[in-house]
């Protein structure tokens, strides 16, 4: 076993290796049955320090408006969270973040695999369900997305703004305006948004008009 201390040189080395692993040429080699293993003594890694660095990069990624910087951060996070997932294979956060990263890199199979691993580790971990729901929502698979958002909701995200907003959005797309408005109102109570407030008013008006229309139809029968 080769013992490697985690310093900046090792971090960049891991980034290069992981980029290499993700290249099409290596996929071909793997399909041919050849596997490359780089032995690393993960017990030498300071998990807390690396997690703090990885989480800081994730925050920078969310806040950045620079496409090139975001791409660089994705690969650096991929390196960091991959190492963390080997240091602690029971931590669902690491695999949820890997799922998000692979999703952004367009590696659907790896994204789904890591999301599934996260929810299997801790079945009541709402962050994994929420992130998995975002994966399906972005691909237009709204019924599956709704199922995962509701799993997040039922396992602790009852007061999570974005979960409530996304559930409301899906119900609105389904034409269930009463349920949509119910979730939108709960989201608005957590964080005020003029845009969301206007959406609620529009749905109120739509529901009112639908009610009047149904009443008039009933009177004509």
| In the chain, where the domains are located | 160-221
Residue range 141-180, pLDDT digits in tens:
999 999 999 999 999 999 999 999 999 999 999 999 999 9
Tokens coding 66:
């620079």
pLDDT for position 201: 96
pLDDT digits (tens, 9 = 90+) for 36-77: 555 677 888 999 999 999 999 999 999 999 999 999 999 999
Look up the pTM and report it: 0.79
Residue 8: pLDDT over 90: no
Among left, alpha and beta (phi > 0; psi -120 to 50; other), residue 201 is: alpha
pLDDT digits (tens, 9 = 90+) for 12-29: 445 444 444 444 333 333
67: left (phi over 0), alpha (psi -120 to 50) or beta: alpha
* Contacts (Cβ under 8 Å, ≥6 apart) of 17: 38
Rounded distance between C-alpha atoms, residue 149 and residue 126, angstroms: 9
Over residues 130-137, mean pLDDT: 98
Distance between CA atoms of residues 57 and 191, nearest Å: 26
CB 121 within 8 A of CB 92: yes
């Amino acid at each position: 076993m080769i013992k490697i201390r985690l310093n900046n040189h090792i971090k960049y080395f891991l980034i290069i290796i992981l980029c290499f692993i993700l290249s099409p040429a290596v996929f071909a080699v793997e399909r041919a049955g050849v596997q490359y293993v780089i032995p690393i003594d993960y017990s030498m890694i300071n998990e807390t320090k690396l997690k703090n660095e990885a989480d800081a990069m994730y925050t920078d990624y969310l806040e950045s408006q620079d496409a090139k910087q975001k791409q660089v951060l994705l690969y650096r996070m991929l390196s960091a969270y991959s190492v963390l997932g080997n240091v602690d294979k029971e931590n669902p956060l690491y695999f949820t973040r890997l799922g998000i990263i692979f999703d952004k890199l367009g590696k659907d199979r790896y994204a789904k695999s890591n999301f599934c691993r996260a929810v299997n580790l801790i079945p009541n971990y709402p962050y994994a369900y929420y992130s998995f729901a975002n994966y399906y929502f972005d691909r237009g698979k709204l019924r599956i997305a709704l199922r995962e958002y509701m799993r997040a909701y039922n396992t602790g995200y009852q007061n999570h703004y974005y979960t409530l907003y996304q559930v409301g959005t899906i119900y609105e797309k389904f034409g269930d305006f009463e349920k949509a408005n119910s979730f939108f109102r709960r989201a608005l109570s957590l964080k005020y948004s003029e845009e969301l407030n206007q959406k609620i008013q529009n749905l109120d008006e739509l529901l009112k008009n639908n009610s009047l229309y149904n009443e008039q139809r009933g009177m004509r029968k």
